Structure formats: C-alpha cells, structure tokens
Chains A and B, each alone.
Chain A
Amino acid sequence: MSDILDLSLAGARDAMANGQLTSLELTDAYIVAAERARDLNIYITETFDRAREGAKASDARRAKGKVGLVEGQPLAIKDLFCTEGVLTTAASHILDGFTPTYESTVTANLWRNGAVMLGKTNMDEFAMGSSNMTSYYGGVRNPWKTGNRDLVPGGSSGGSASAVSGYAAIAATGTDTGGSIRQPASFCGIVGIKPTYGRCSRWGTVAFASSLDQAGPMTRTVRDAAIMLRAMAGHDPKDATSDERAIPDFEAALTGDIRGMKIGIPREYQLDGLPEEISKLWAQGRQWLTDAGAECVDVSLPHTKYALPTYYIVAPAEASSNLARYDGVRFGLRVEGDSLDEMYAKTRAAGFGDEVQRRVLIGAYVLSAGYYDAYYIKAQKVRALIARDFDEVFGKVDAILTPTAPNAAFGMGEQMDDPIKMFLNDVFTVPASLAGIPGMSVPAGLSAEGLPLGLQILGKSFDEETVLRVGGVLEQAAGFTAKPSWLEG
C-alpha cells in the first residue's frame, strides 16, 4: 500500500496545504486502489475520468488560494444520492438508466467544498437491508475475511463501508434510516456517524422512510468524520425538515477532554443472548471513558424492546408511499401491459427485489383501511414513548454508550432465510433513528474471529459535538489499528 493511502482525510488535507501532495496524486492513488479492489464489488458506477478532471480543477483552485473544507479529497458516494449526469440506481433494477438532471444538496455541498467523486457505491436496494445482499448489482464483499469465508460489509451503506475500509476511497457518504451507516461501519472497522435528523438535507436523496432518513459520513477516523459532516450539513430551504441552525466547526469539538461528563449505560441494551465478546467490549468502553474522567451511570430506556417492531411498521409505511413513484412512467424500468394498471403492476414486480416488495406490501397493509389505527397509529404512539425515554435520560447524562451491533460481520448469504433475524442487526441503532438523535459507531476492538466490532455513542439532538468528542476519546483509548485481511491478500 502506498504511503499516500495511509493518510487520513485530515492528513491528506494537511499534506495538500503544505504543498507535499496534490489532489491529482491523491486521486490517482485511490483510482489505482479502487481498480485493484474491483472484486469487492464496491462501485456500481466508477467515475474515474471525472475524478481526475475534478482533481486537476481542485489543484488549480488551490493555486489561486481557494480551498474548501474537503478540497481535493476523492470520495465515494452512496448510489442513493442523485448526481447530475451520473447514473443513480439506489441499487434497484427499477431505476435502470436513471440519470438525474439535478444534484442532491448533500453532494452539491461536498463539491462546493472542493471534493472529487470517484464513483457511486453499491448498497442494499433502496437502502432496505443490513447485509448489502439485496442489491440488484450483487452483494459487496467486506475487506475483512475469516479464512476463505467472504463476509458481508453490513448494510445498507455496504459499498461505502467497504470502500473506506478497503482503501478504495478516502471517505464516503452513507445514509442511515435504521442503522445503515453505523452497522456497516462496525462490520468494516471504520467510523460512521448518523447526525441529528434535519442536519443534512434530504433533497435529491432517493427517499426510503422520510421521517428517518439521514445522510452522514463514513471515514477511517473520528476527525475525518467531523470534517466531512461539516462539509455535508447545512440548512436547505428545499427540504422542509432541514434545520436552520448554524453548523458548528465539529473538528474543534475534538478536545479529548471528557472529564466530568456523564455517560449513560442503558440496561435494556444488555440483551438476553448478547454474545459475551460484545458485552466485554461494551464494559471495556465504559472503563475507557471512566479512565478519561467521565462518570458512567446506569440508565433505563424502558421501551427499547419495542423499537424494532415500531420501526418495521413506520419505515415500510413510509416506503410504500415513497416508492409509489416508481410506476414505469417517469423514470427507469417499464414493462408494458395491456392497461395502465397492468403496466404498473408488471413494472413494479420486475423492478423491485424480494425485500423491497415485502416492505412495500407490509407498508400498504399497515396503512390500509381497517388496519391503520391498529398498526400505523399505534407505532407512532410507541415511537413517541421511545423518543420520550431518550428525552428523560438526556436530562441526566451527556451521552449514551452502547454496542453498535449484536454481532460481527456474517458470511455472504447467511441470515437471508429469516427477515426478522436480519432485522435484529439493527437492534441497537434503530431506537436513535426513531428519536431522531445523533449516533456514531467507532471501531473499538476485534471479535474472537478477528473481525472488527464497534461501539456506539448517542447524543442529544443537535449535539453531535459531544458525540464526536466522546468518540474521539474512545478512538484514542481503543487504538484500533488492525487492517482488513484483504489488503494483505
């Protein structure tokens, strides 16, 4: 691996600022690395020519003294963000050939801040999944392996996670509806933060469940996540749920000082049957934070066990509504039929994969006459209780520490026979999504099999700074330097 690839995004920023490195050199190094990583199936669309042009333009801007927050940084973009003139698929057959005539706000913010696009990353179809196996373009391989067993990178932002972990991009964008940034970050040994709902504009991002969807960065370090988040976030009048608050300098929050902070340890997250290595890592995290001068206190989030079933009503309901737009008329795939209705039904049957069909059907069911109150309204009420649990706990603590996922990465093709078992991957990430609060996964250790495991830090709404600060301390204490086995092979 070349020395250039060893640089973090912050390190590359400093090297470019000092004139020791150009964006073109950095971008070329990542293009070579991405080409070498092709068998991981990370990118649905590669835009290497565009990346080289972008890098040259960035170097020219820098020569004139114009330097954005992520100037010259070669990024991987999840294929859920619409990119003007570049195929955008959401990893679905139904978006065949869709080439947006507009740019998502998040990616536009990144380009305005100088970033360069390497390509669009693979993902679970419409971000529905926790393994990346539901992609129309095939599963992504995790750069981490056990022996010869190929593992999933997690999902839905699996391509982005593998890209960052496997050095096929310096950083990436992801989106998180129920854990789709944090769980793959944990599986791939990288950092991923889902900011507060409303921090990043949803405009131009293919919608899954609009009251839950949030974009966020996936990076190799906490500092890189802070830099990326600042470049992605910001108020956008085109998204009515986008927040007006000014975006802080998140990097400045990384003081390393958490003395006197109170960290909640929610007892309900100690699930029956939680693998001992996960419990031990969690206890270790608690010890690290205590050693750094924080006080860890036992807290209760009593409705935790209802978060997953609540999510699996709310998210499919919103998805069934959002995905109604895929009708064979306006974009993507069309399968002809004798009537308009038949054309719709044939197009959607051919265009949506099994998991997407299941969720659209569940959503249609829980919203249908006679079931709406019993399922959808009931779930919205329980969601209110879950959010209230967090409000009460955050009256007493500054942040919450939990495991990110109940297991390490599993084999490709495993867990596919039982949808509910797959849902359990998100048991620790879904509650924060329902409440809209920020959460970050930081690589904290290795499983007995030598696979990365993450710890999750949750914070108050719009207090990503505390999440990042605590995450920085965890990162420092964990000293996670292990590299994926794929890089050696």
Chain B
Amino acid sequence: MSLDREAVSKIAHLARIEVPESRLDGLAGELDNIINWVEQLAEVNTDNVEPMTRVGDRKMPMRDDVVTDGEKQADVTANAPVSQDGFYLVPKVVE
C-alpha cells in the first residue's frame, strides 16, 4: 500500500487539518516513507499474542458513581477564544 495524494487528502480531512494542494505530494512522500518503514512489523509472528492494551497488571480502579466536581463554568470557559454567557461560541451549524 502506498500513500498517494488522494489518501493524504482523505486522512487530512479525517484529522481536520487543512493541507494546501501544493503540500499534498510532499506530505504523501513523507508519510509513505514512515508507513513503509513501520510495515516491517508484518514479519513478526504474532499468532496467539493478545494486543497490549494496558501497561502492567493493574485493574481499572472503580469509584462510586457520584458527582465529585463541578460548579466551574467560569473556569471551563476561561480560555475559550470566543464565549458568551457561559457558552462556547462556534460558527453557525444549523441553518
């Protein structure tokens, strides 16, 4: 599998990063190099190996399902580029 400009354009859309047309070929080359390099993992025999989804043997800790935090609306929106009345403002999404 090689990563061409069309594939890069699709991934860039998935990642919500605008990539100018003029950058697509260059980026395709860079990403394709990396993908070709990581593909050496295909030669490792991983039959009957469980994927490692956590580090160490800890069990996920559980706590009571109660509210432990809150009342911080001003803190939460303090760093928003644009906010009003305790809400984030975004470009219009509903016509």
Interface residues of A (CB under 8 A from B): 97-102, 196-198, 211, 237, 240-241, 243, 303, 306, 309-310, 312-313, 320, 324, 327-334, 336-346, 348-349, 352, 357-358, 360-365, 368, 374-375, 377-385, 387, 419-420, 435-436, 461
Contact of B44 with A303 in the complex, beta carbons under 8 Å: yes
Task: Say how far A115's CB is from chain B's closest CB, in angstroms.
Answer: 24
Task: Say how far A371's CB is from chain B's closest CB, in angstroms.
Answer: 8
Which chain A positions have C-beta within 8 A of B17?
A: 345, 348-349, 352, 357, 360-361
Task: Say how far B51's CB is from chain A's closest CB, in angstroms.
Answer: 3
Task: Say how far B82's CB is from chain A's closest CB, in angstroms.
Answer: 7
Which chain B positions have C-beta within 8 A of A333?
A: 81
Distance, CA A170 to CA B70, complexed state (A): 37
Closest 8 pairs between A and B when the two form their complex, measured CB to CB: A380-B51, A436-B55, A334-B81, A381-B46, A331-B79, A384-B52, A345-B18, A349-B18
Distance, CA A100 to CA B78, complexed state (A): 9
Task: Say how far B69's CB is from chain A's closest CB, in angstroms.
Answer: 9
Contact of A332 with B81 at beta-carbon distance under 8 Å, contacts A240-B61, A368-B14, A385-B49 already known: yes
Contact of A340 with B90 at beta-carbon distance under 8 Å, contacts A328-B81, A360-B17 already known: yes
Which chain B positions have C-beta within 8 A of A320?
A: 15
Which chain A positions have C-beta within 8 A of B55?
A: 197-198, 211, 241, 435-436
Determine which of A334, A419, A435 lies in contact with B82 in the assembled complex, contact meaning CB atoms within 8 Å.
A334
Residue B75 at the chain A interface, CB threshold 8 Å: yes
Residue B34 at the chain A interface, CB threshold 8 Å: yes
Residue of B nearest to A303 (CB): B44
Which chain A positions have C-beta within 8 A of B15?
A: 320, 348, 360-361, 363-364
Distance, CA A436 to CA B42, complexed state (A): 23
Residue of B nearest to A88 (CB): B79
Distance, CA A174 to CA B49, complexed state (A): 33
Contact of B37 with A341 in the complex, beta carbons under 8 Å: no
Chain B 15-31, CB within 8 Å of chain A: the 1/0 string? Answer: 11111000000010011
Determine which of B3, B44, B50, B80 lies in contact with A331 in the assembled complex, contact meaning CB atoms within 8 Å.
B80
- Please list 15 pairs of residues, one from A and one from B, whose beta carbons are closer than 8 Å in the complex, sorted by A's number: A99-B79, A101-B75, A101-B79, A241-B58, A309-B40, A327-B16, A332-B81, A343-B91, A345-B17, A348-B18, A358-B31, A362-B31, A365-B3, A365-B11, A382-B41
Residue of A nearest to B44 (CB): A382
Distance, CA A312 to CA B82, complexed state (A): 35
Which chain B positions have C-beta within 8 A of A383?
A: 51-52
Task: Say how far A420's CB is from chain B's closest CB, in angstroms.
Answer: 6
Chain B 61-94, CB within 8 Å of chain A: the 1/0 string? Answer: 1010000000010010011111000001011010
Contact of A98 with B82 in the complex, beta carbons under 8 Å: no
Residue B2 at the chain A interface, CB threshold 8 Å: no
Contact of A420 with B34 in the complex, beta carbons under 8 Å: yes
Interface residues of B (CB under 8 A from A): 3, 7-8, 11-19, 27, 30-31, 33-35, 37-42, 44, 46, 49-56, 58, 60-61, 63, 72, 75, 78-82, 88, 90-91, 93
Contact of B34 with A419 in the complex, beta carbons under 8 Å: yes
Distance, CA A368 to CA B10, complexed state (A): 10
Contact of B52 with A420 in the complex, beta carbons under 8 Å: no
Residue of A nearest to B63 (CB): A237
Distance, CA A336 to CA B82, complexed state (A): 11
Which chain A positions have C-beta within 8 A of B18?
A: 342, 345-346, 348-349
Task: Say how far A339's CB is from chain B's closest CB, in angstroms.
Answer: 6
Distance, CA A73 to CA B44, complexed state (A): 48
Distance, CA A344 to CA B49, complexed state (A): 39
Distance, CA A100 to CA B19, complexed state (A): 30
Distance, CA A198 to CA B60, complexed state (A): 12
Distance, CA A290 to CA B58, complexed state (A): 35
Residue of B nearest to A331 (CB): B79
Which chain A positions have C-beta within 8 A of B31?
A: 358, 361-362, 365
Which chain B positions have C-beta within 8 A of A345?
A: 12-13, 16-18
Task: Say how far B72's CB is from chain A's closest CB, in angstroms.
Answer: 8
Residue of B nearest to A96 (CB): B81
Contact of B79 with A381 in the complex, beta carbons under 8 Å: no
Determine which of B27, B40, B51, B58 lies in contact with A361 in the assembled complex, contact meaning CB atoms within 8 Å.
B27
Task: Say how far B54's CB is from chain A's closest CB, in angstroms.
Answer: 7
Distance, CA A211 to CA B79, complexed state (A): 27
Residue of B nearest to A384 (CB): B52
Which chain B positions have C-beta within 8 A of A461?
A: 56
Which chain A positions have C-beta within 8 A of B3?
A: 365
Which chain B positions have C-beta within 8 A of A331?
A: 79-81
Which chain A positions have C-beta within 8 A of B72?
A: 101
Contact of B38 with A309 in the complex, beta carbons under 8 Å: yes
Determine which of A97, A339, A381 lies in contact with B50 in the assembled complex, contact meaning CB atoms within 8 Å.
A381
Which chain B positions have C-beta within 8 A of A99?
A: 78-79
Contact of A198 with B58 in the complex, beta carbons under 8 Å: yes
Task: Say how far A342's CB is from chain B's closest CB, in angstroms.
Answer: 8
Distance, CA A375 to CA B49, complexed state (A): 15
Contact of A361 with B81 in the complex, beta carbons under 8 Å: no
Distance, CA A310 to CA B40, complexed state (A): 9
Distance, CA A419 to CA B13, complexed state (A): 23
Contact of A361 with B8 at beta-carbon distance under 8 Å, contacts A331-B79, A337-B91 already known: yes
Given A237-B61, A360-B15, 9 further pairs, Cβ under 8 A: A98-B79, A198-B56, A306-B44, A332-B79, A341-B16, A345-B17, A358-B27, A358-B31, A361-B11
